Amino acid sequence: MGCVNARSAGNKSAILCRTIADEQLDILVITETWHECSGSTVLKNVTPPGYQCIDAARPIPLDARTDTVDFQNYGGLAFIHRQNVKFQKRSFDATVTTFEYLCGYVSIADGHFILLGVYRPGSQGLTTAFLTNYRRSLSG
């Protein structure tokens, strides 16, 4: 298993895909993918043959000007996993505003576990609200 903050998987898709294959990773957690939807070409390019992807794109703000060349969504998480690693995407029964997350219930031959990827935007200072939201999401 591995984890990387890509800060745009789009311009690193070849190296990420090769790393998964070369290191024979069962799962790679990618934060800051900068993708906008599950059908993104970025995610397809990062996912090697024999692997699948589950993701959580950062929601696009309602007031965003997506029709400009300057638009960039930032954020986003993805789990790239071998096809024999079964994932069920899960969500919290809580609204979080200070971080992004991707959660999955994982089944492998030896057992089960929950994988939680958390991305807290570095441009925002750590606040009490982040810790409160994080604790609430785990207990909910």
Q: Given this model, what pLDDT does residue 101 score? A: 94
Higher pLDDT, 54 or 109: 54
Rg, the chain, Cα only: 15
**pTM for this predicted structure:** 0.81
CATH of the structural domain 2-139, one choice from 3.60.10.10, 3.40.50.300, 1.20.1200.10, 3.40.630.30: 3.60.10.10
Residues 6 or more apart whose CB falls under 8 angstroms from that of 124 comprise 98
Mean pLDDT of the chain: 86
The ranges assigned to domains in the chain are 2-139
Q: Model confidence over 53-101: pLDDT tens digits?
A: 999 987 666 676 666 666 566 789 999 999 999 999 999 888 887 889 9
Q: Given this model, what pLDDT does residue 45 score? A: 95
